[in-house]
Amino acid sequence: MTTNLVWLRSDLRVSDNMALYAACRDEQAQVMVLFMATPEQWRQHEMAPRQAQFIYDNLRLLQADLAGRGIPLYTLTCDDFAASVEQLRQFCQQQHVDRVFYNYQYEINERQRDAAAEKSLSEQGIVCQGFDDSVLLPPGSVLTGNREMYKVFTPFSRAFVKRLQQGLPECVPAPRARQNAPRIQQPELTPFGYPLAPYDDALFPPGEAAAIARLRAFCQQPVTAYHQDRDFPAKQGTSLLSAYLATGILSPRQCLHRLLREHPNGLEDERCFVWLNELIWREFYRHVLVAWPHLCKSHPFISWTNHVVWRSDPQQLLAWQQGKTGYPIVDAAMRQLNTLGWMHNRLRMITASFLVKDLLIDWREGERYFMSQLIDGDLAANNGGWQWAASSGMDAAPYFRIFNPTTQGERFDKQGEFIRYWLPELRHVPDAEIHQPHDWAKKNQQKLDYPLPIVDHKQARNRTLGAFDAARKETGNSNA
């Protein structure tokens, strides 16, 4: 009997899982599933402990689901990717595996691991097959007329939609219960050897069923208001699907097909397309990592920004991390991140701009801190977002476009509803004064248990413009 192994990574689901589907097509084959935790690798990449807990909880539910289909799920723990290749080889040898199926990951370390694994396994006579599962369209399939990867998002999005209009990527069904599989007792899930931290399981309930239910509910109606509500953090205007996409509990194809089932004109309907375009941003950053793998190594895309002289100020960095900068919208956002492991997308841009453009602290400090907190941490999206804010990446905001944190708060949380929720010390400040509470306190002779602004925005803006101007002039503004 042939034995097929599915090597799970960021694809913790049974529905629309290309590797799992392919492994189960031969109904006579024995199928087993393996997940390998790599705690040392996770530490190097600053994985949030709450994300590790979320992965563990989802693996537990996935194991139960697979058991009902006659498929055992094993877990192994090995320090890093190099060790995982050897452990995989040994596991395949012990279990007499004939074929290994897996879904691609696009980060450089992961691609090197997969190449080493395929080489090692092929030497043992084991056939490996990989799939572009975590994307709608494979990297390298959406190119300019010169057959190059796009460097700007908008034309990439247009070309991407054109490809979708020519033919949608298909979803594959979940495998049926194995006819020839005996009743199995699932192996015990081994501990990860990595710190775990609780998360809000009401906000992010684990499990594929919960993820699909949330997707369906969002696509039925809220998606049509997404374009109006998405920038206002006090509203429930976003899908809250990012954690499920980051860990592969949902696939982007499931998102696309559910959207189009509820809204058949979703590729053209602006109300729905705004959300779909966010999925295309996710694709863009994955395609970018394959085209320019050095971005995985904390290098900027725009090379002259390497010459920006960043400030080292541990106290101000800590104030930013703890939500104690004296700018209410920034502090409320950072406290949301620290408490929930999630932050509203508009606030991710505001807080990133503040760290880089107001404090002139290296964007990589922020990138690492976000990854250490986010339940939806994803290297491609996180790196892309931070480089956008730092004016160092693909289709980045021009370096001279600097968010004013006060006016951003006034625009997107006018009455201060979001701010008061996360900064209860400002609950008595009137709506009109909530974004500059110390001015109100001074006028009304009130004492506030809230820090003074750690930087003057106007002065900070001028300092940042000077630092970027100097770096640009030093290198002749080369984008190579």
Catalytically active residues, by annotation = 278, 281, 310, 345, 363, 386
C-alpha angle 206-378-67 in degrees, rounded to nearest 5: 35
Q: Is the dihedral of CA 119, 122, 126, 131 positive or negative?
A: positive
Q: Is the dihedral of CA 282, 10, 233, 370 positive or negative?
A: negative
226 is in an annotated binding site: yes
Burial string for 143-173 (b: 16+ CB within 10 Å, else e) reads eeeeeebbbebeebbebbbeebeeeebebbe
283 is in an annotated binding site: yes
366 is in an annotated binding site: no
134 is in an annotated binding site: no
56 is in an annotated binding site: no
What separation in angstroms does the CA of 1 have from each of 32, 47, 98, 110, 159? 13, 39, 9, 31, 45
282 is in an annotated binding site: yes
279 is in an annotated binding site: yes
Question: What's the token pair of residue 55?
Answer: 């992965």
238 is in an annotated binding site: yes
Q: How far apart are CA 276 and CA 348, in angstroms?
A: 19
144 is in an annotated binding site: no
- HSE on the CB side for 230, CA within 13 Å? 22
What separation in angstroms does the CA of 267 have from each of 19, 160, 250, 272? 28, 11, 20, 8
CB atoms within 10 A of CB 222: 15
132 is in an annotated binding site: no
200 is in an annotated binding site: no
284 is in an annotated binding site: yes
User: What is the maximal distance between C-alpha atoms in the chain?
Assistant: 82
376 is in an annotated binding site: yes
Q: How far apart are CA 42 and CA 51, in angstroms?
A: 11
365 is in an annotated binding site: no
Q: How far apart are CA 339 and CA 203, in angstroms?
A: 12
Q: Do the beta carbons of residue 471 and residue 479 sit within 8 Å?
A: no
440 is in an annotated binding site: no
242 is in an annotated binding site: yes
Q: How far apart are CA 5 and CA 316, in angstroms?
A: 49
399 is in an annotated binding site: no
**SS3 sequence of 82-110:** HHHHHHHHHHHHHCCCCEEEEECCCCHHH
Query: Which residues define the annotated binding site?
Result: 226, 238-242, 275, 278-285, 376-378
Residues at the binding site for FAD are: 226, 238-242, 275, 278-285, 376-378
